[in-house]
Structure 1
Amino acid sequence: MTPDGSLPPVRQILVVDDDTSLREHVAKYLSDHGYQVHAAADGKTMEAVLAEAPIDLIILDVMMPGEDGLSICRRLAEDGGPAIIMVSAMGEEIDRILGLELGADDYLPKPCSPRELLARVRAVMRRREEARNGGPRRGKAYHFLGFVLDTLRRQLRSPNGATILLTAGEYSLLSAFLEQPQRILSRDQLLEAARGSDTEVFDRAVDVQISRLRRKLHACTDQEIIKTYRGAGYLLDAKVTRP
């Protein structure tokens, strides 16, 4: 309910992909989960939909006929357009980093599960809403051991300034650690802080994602940043500042 007692507006999503089967499958899945979904096969059709509907988020394929997704992403981000989740069969890390640096809110490789896509949609929508309302996470930056996590752009920079690509799960877990540094957090606490009620995540998934996050951090420093306390949980062993 909104403050005046009315129902909140249904969020509108635009799926832009030249693969008809995939486009229709994604559209149906998101529709079944409460979103109003539009579809377009290319940039020209996308523009026609944007002119007619108040789109909140675009799921944008990279490789399309005519204007490609990266070009579209750059243009829409410069104009302050809807949130963007890019999807692509290209698996190179440089392509994903480029998409995020051009203004995409998130990036998923193909093939991706509809459930994972739904979780990303919900997370991006939530962050946009918090930013519009001036929420506590707006524009926050965490500094630790030379690393900087920019929560507005959802980017982690290494001590030498390079961008470290994080999955949505890794980003959420790191954010949870940085909110409570030098404190042991159990799996349940991490799940509560990192995922909330958006997805069903088994305990083991936390171990896997923390292992991946550790590897990415350790590639930039010799210090053991995330420590394991058997039977208790995990701890971020670093001083964190928020200038």
Structure 2
Amino acid sequence: MSPPLILIAEVEQDVRHEVRQSLEQNGFRALPAVSATEIWNAMDSMAIGAVVLDAALRGPDGMDLCRDVRERSDVPIILVGANSSEVDRVVGLELGADDYMAKPYSARELAARLRAVLRRGRNDRALGAHRPTEARFDGWTVDSSRREVIDPNGGRVELTAAEFSLLLALLDHPRVVIARARLMALAGVRDTPSSDRSVDVLVSRVRRKLSHGGRAAPIVTVRGGGYMFSAVVDRR
């Protein structure tokens, strides 16, 4: 099996070169990009394993590109930016990023985080091979082997890797209150000072996508406790 191909969309040439060299030394293949056109060309013609996306890209900017890439694909995205504030991290997650790194960052840490987001996707697929692959609730169908979420009208709903991991964690514990720290671990959210907020953002995104026909998603916030999936889940 070929090493995963990482698309490095980085505005600074020296950083782009350093990251490419480091990732290749760490067992990845790396492809540089400096514009939206190069990103789309790569994604249309190659199997991209993950995207490292600089928020400072222009025309459109990196934040807009993060949203656009997520709308087209569930490829893991690590967003990098000069601002390390919680606001920027939360905005990045809201736009569909799976992780956020502040500049300057070490190429070694980037390699570790890439392994984590890629491993999370593999774990989701592996779990699907050892348990019932289909879960149904309130007219919805979630197929863990195909990584598909189908709404009550038969339409497919796109979830990111992080969102899908969170949904599987909730489906595995229906009608049970799960503390934020536990849900963070089950969903594979990286342990950081803002991890609780990261879980909240993921829950918000999943809720929004599972709301249908005026009916809210069955994810209940338990004050002081965490979250609970309130619907009955039928495993097949």
Question: Shorter-chain TM-score: what band?
Answer: 0.5 to 0.7
Counterpart pick for 1:128 among 122, 126, 133: 122
Partner of 1:152: 145
Contact 2:141 2:150 in 1 (8 A): yes
Partner of 2:49: 84
Partner of 2:73: 99
Partner of 2:27: 36
Deviation at 1:194, TM superposition (A): 1.1
CA distance in 2, matches of 1:26, 1:220: 45
Partner of 1:227: 220
Contact 2:4 2:49 in 1 (8 A): no
Letter in 2 for 1:233: G
Does residue 72 in structure 1 map to residue 63 in structure 2? no
* 1:197-216 matched pairs, under 5 angstroms: 198-200=190-192, 202-216=195-209
Contact 1:186 1:232 in 2 (8 A): yes
CA distance in 1, matches of 2:113, 2:183: 17
CA distance in 2, matches of 1:230, 1:168: 27
Letter in 2 for 1:84: G
Tell me the alpha carbon deviations over residues 96-129 of structure 1, each in whole angstroms, 9 at most, x when there is no partner.
Answer: 44435xxxxx243865645788545423235437
Contact 2:6 2:50 in 1 (8 A): no
Partner of 1:142: 135
Partner of 1:185: 178
* 1:22-33 matched pairs, under 5 angstroms: 23-27=16-20, 30=23
Counterpart pick for 2:231 among 224, 238, 243: 238
Listed as ranges, the gaps of 5+ residues in structure 1 are: 1-10, 43-60, 77-82, 101-105
Partner of 1:63: 37
CA distance in 2, matches of 1:163, 1:86: 23
Letter in 2 for 1:124: L
Contact 1:119 1:199 in 2 (8 A): no
Contact 2:219 2:228 in 1 (8 A): yes
Deviation at 1:184, TM superposition (A): 1.0
CA distance in 2, matches of 1:154, 1:24: 34
> Could you tell me the TM-score, scaled by structure 1's length?
0.60
CA distance in 2, matches of 1:16, 1:94: 15
Does residue 108 in structure 1 map to residue 73 in structure 2? no
Letter in 2 for 1:212: R
CA distance in 2, matches of 1:17, 1:222: 40
Partner of 2:90: none
Matched residue count? 195
Counterpart pick for 1:15 among 6, 18, 38: 6
Deviation at 1:153, TM superposition (A): 4.0
